């Protein structure tokens, strides 16, 4: 028998076997199809997570080192191990800045959840962050309007504030935020800048629902008893 005849005979036998076992053939095909789809979807999901992670890291700075008492993500459940660590102090940043030789900028960051008000508008559950003028260089932030506070404003604990885009949308839907005075936990601040939209970090928390003020003003809001975030 020629090669063509053998091939034709093989195809006939295969077809006859499939027709004789239709259910088995269908199940086999479904298994192959489902396997291919699963692998494809898994690859797409991994690629999407990789892009999201890279985008989130880029938004907070790929060359920035964050140091804090509590881990960002920890599923061990052993929270008491981190609780027993010593709190970081604000003046650590100045000491590091003074002694370090390879760092471009050092900024302490403290944070808590607060309420912002402008006239009859209210923004709840806003991240209130206190820091210094160096945070501008650490975070490499951009602005849709205004600016960040200066070293003089930072060291002088001036009542100035930079708000995120979500806060600007909530409090100032029909007017320019810069130059307006808002209440942060009851204290008055003049808005000097609006950050460009940053999105969220890995879908966990928004980078736009925040207000940034000089760290001394943060202490006035929170009192002397608060743990620095970083």
Reported as a single tens digit per residue, the pLDDT across 187-205 is 999 999 999 998 765 555 6
Give the count of beta carbons closer than 10 Å to the beta carbon of residue 91: 9
- Buried b or exposed e, range 36-52, using 16+ CB within 10 angstroms: eeeeeeeeeeeeeeeee
User: 34 with 130, same domain?
Assistant: no
- Contact present, 198 and 164 (Cβ < 8 Å): yes
- Contact present, 107 and 135 (Cβ < 8 Å): yes
Parallel/antiparallel/unpaired status of strands 187-195 and 110-118: unpaired
User: 130 with 40, same domain?
Assistant: no
Parallel/antiparallel/unpaired status of strands 205-206 and 143-146: unpaired
- Contact present, 162 and 146 (Cβ < 8 Å): yes
Q: In this structure, is the dihedral angle defined by the CA atoms of residues 181, 183, 188 and 189, taken in order, positive or negative?
A: negative
Residue 171 within a domain: yes
Which domain, by its residues, includes 40? 3-60
Domain count, the chain: 2
- Contact present, 70 and 210 (Cβ < 8 Å): no
Average pLDDT over residues 129-154: 91
Residue 83 within a domain: no
Residue 98 within a domain: no
Task: Give this prediction's pTM.
Answer: 0.67
Tokens (6 digits) for 178: 């810069």
Average pLDDT over residues 169-174: 93
Comparison of pLDDT for 137 and 88, the residue scoring more: 137
Residue 95 within a domain: no
Q: How confident is the model at residue 144 (pLDDT cuts 50, 70, 90)?
A: very high
Residue 230 within a domain: no
User: 181 with 127, same domain?
Assistant: yes
Residue 197 within a domain: yes
How many helices (DSSP H) and strands (DSSP E) are in the chain?
8, 9
Q: Report how far residue 28's alpha carbon sits from residue 120's, in angstroms, rounded to the nearest whole number.
A: 65
Q: Which residues pair with 200 in a beta bridge?
A: 206
Q: Report how far residue 34's alpha carbon sits from residue 42's, in angstroms, rounded to the nearest whole number.
A: 12
User: 52 with 110, same domain?
Assistant: no
Residue 32 within a domain: yes
Can you give the pLDDT at residue 84?
78
Q: What pLDDT digit, counting tens, does each position of 111-121 carry?
A: 889 999 999 99
Average pLDDT over residues 176-189: 94
User: 112 with 9, same domain?
Assistant: no
User: 42 with 115, same domain?
Assistant: no
- The closest of 58, 55, 230 to 127, measured between CA atoms, is 230
User: 217 with 130, same domain?
Assistant: yes
Q: Average model confidence (pLDDT) for the chain?
A: 79
User: 54 with 114, same domain?
Assistant: no
């Amino acid at each position: 028998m020629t090669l063509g005849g053998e091939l034709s005979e093989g195809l006939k036998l295969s077809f006859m076997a499939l027709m004789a076992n239709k259910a088995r053939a269908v199940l086999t095909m479904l298994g192959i199809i489902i396997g291919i789809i699963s692998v494809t979807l898994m690859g797409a999901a991994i690629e999407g997570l990789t892009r999201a992670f890279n985008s989130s890291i880029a938004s907070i700075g790929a060359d920035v080192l964050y140091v804090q008492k509590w881990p960002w993500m920890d599923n061990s459940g052993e929270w008491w191990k981190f609780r027993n660590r010593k709190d970081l102090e604000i003046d650590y940043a100045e000491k590091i800045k003074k002694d370090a030789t390879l760092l471009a900028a050092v900024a302490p960051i403290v944070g808590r959840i607060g309420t912002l008000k402008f006239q009859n508008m209210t923004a709840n559950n806003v991240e209130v962050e206190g820091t210094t003028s160096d945070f501008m260089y650490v975070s490499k932030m951009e602005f849709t309007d205004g600016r960040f506070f200066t070293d003089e404003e930072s060291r002088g604990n001036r009542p100035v504030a930079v708000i995120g885009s979500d806060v600007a949308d909530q409090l100032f839907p029909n007017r320019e935020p810069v130059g307006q005075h808002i209440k942060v936990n009851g204290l008055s601040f003049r808005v000097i800048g609006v950050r460009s939209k940053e999105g969220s970090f890995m879908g966990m928390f928004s980078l736009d629902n925040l207000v940034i003020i000089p760290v001394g003003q943060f202490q006035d809001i929170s009192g002397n008893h608060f743990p620095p975030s970083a």
